[in-house]
Structures are given as structure tokens and as C-alpha cells.
Amino acid sequence: MIEAGLEFEGAIDRVVTAFADLPEPLRPVHFSHEEKLASDADRIDDQMRFAVFVAKSKSGFFLLGPGVTYSVRIATGKPLVCDCFLELTPEALEQFLKHMSKAKPVFGFACVPGERERRNRVTTRQGVNVIESWVGRDTKKYVPGFYWLTLLPDALAEQHGVPLSAVKAVAQEHVELEGGLHLSRFYERPEDWQETPAVTKLCASLPGVFDVEKVKLQLSAAKSFLDLNSMLRKWK
């Protein structure tokens, strides 16, 4: 399985349209409030039924199809976040990000779950307790990281002072898309991330990019759970 993530600002309409217009086998078929299908009648090609469903789904929903699960999360005052899980080929994932770039995401990526956890998850032990937390995903504070495939808009790179020349120098492939978006592939296959330390070094070398190693160093100094919680809040 390959995991992809997309973040958007603004109305949901263009995001929903982009998902509905995906080519096969990326295109979802059904909608649901759960990760499993509730009714076969809940089909995206039933435009009226789907439009009513989206309008009533204030906190989000799922779009489902063979080999694909798309979770759309909605929260007032926050960016719209799409968590995507695809049992498809690496080539299909590149096609997916190129297509979804038409909806103008703030940021996007695709990688295997292990790489996502390596870049943005920390595990801390305090006595018998093990605390796990996601960190570094707030695009208002930094670029969350670089992954197998990374979709980076000019606006986000400029906001955090990330020079695209440094990104291009490390990427195996770099494609400029419409709307000032850049799609970088950092290694041939998604599972190659463990063999490519250059991406970890790139994250550490650019101040505007989240670097999980700096967080781990700080968390190791926490003397209590309250200290740890306070530190983690800063790095969400």
C-alpha cells in the first residue's frame, strides 16, 4: 500500500470534482461516512445523491473504490485534508498527484507508510509509558518534509524560504506543473526510502523544512509527561 496526503485551502467543490474526475483505476466509485460501504446505491456517478451527501457531511467523508480509499477531513477554520490509501502501482500514484494538482493543493505527498512515520512520527518512553505522536504536519509553520513523491507549490516554498534549486539538486526527477506546482520524485521506487539518506539530509539542511531529528533531541530532555505534552504541542 502507498499512502498519499493532500491539503487544500478554500471550498470543497473543486476537491470533490477532482476526485470524481480521476481516471481509472484511481477513480472512486462510492461514498460513505465510514471506511466501508454502507449501501451500493451510494454511487458518485449519481450526481444528485452525491451532492446532497457532500452538503450534509460537515466533518468529512470517505470515497471508495477498488484498491483506493480516500478520506476527506473537514474542520472549521482549518485546511481541508485528504488522507489517501492506494493499492496501486507507483506509476498510478504519480498520475494521481499530477491529476490532483489541478485542484491547487497547499501541499501533497505519496510514500509507503514507513517513510511517513519516519518523517513525521515520534515515539517517546517515560517509565513504563510509551507516547506516540504525529509531528511537523502544520504547513503554516514549515514544509512538512520530502517524501518519495512530493508536491510543492511555489507559494509554500517561498513562505518558508525553501530554495527550489536545492530540492531539484536532490530529486531524481522534477516536473513543473501548471499553477506554480512542482512534483519531485526522490527515488525510483517508494520502498527505496531507507536506502537514500540524501532526503533526510535535505530536510535537515533547510530551516523551513520540518526535521524530526531536532524534535527527538528536544523530547529526550522532557522530565515529565506535562513537559513532553507541552513540547509536542509546539511541533504539531
User: How would residue 145 be classed by pLDDT, with cut points 50, 70 and 90?
Assistant: very high
Where are the domains positioned within the chain?
Answer: 1-105, 112-236
Residue 215 grid coordinates = 524534535
Task: Provide long-range contacts, Cβ within 8 A and 24+ apart, for 135-140.
Answer: 135/210, 135/212, 135/215, 135/232, 135/235, 135/236, 136/210, 136/211, 136/212, 136/215, 136/235, 137/210, 137/236, 138/236, 139/7, 139/79, 139/106, 139/107
Encode pLDDT of 96-135 as tens digits: 999 999 999 999 999 999 999 999 998 877 767 777 889 9
pLDDT in tens, 163-200: 999 999 999 999 999 999 999 999 999 999 998 889 99
- d(CA 184, CA 225) in angstroms, rounded, equals 39
Over residues 27-42, the mean pLDDT reads 92
Q: pLDDT-based confidence at 11, cuts 50/70/90?
A: confident
Structural fold of domain 1-105: TATA-Binding Protein (3.30.310)
Task: State the pLDDT at residue 155.
Answer: 96
Please give the DSSP secondary-structure letter assigned to residue 43.
B
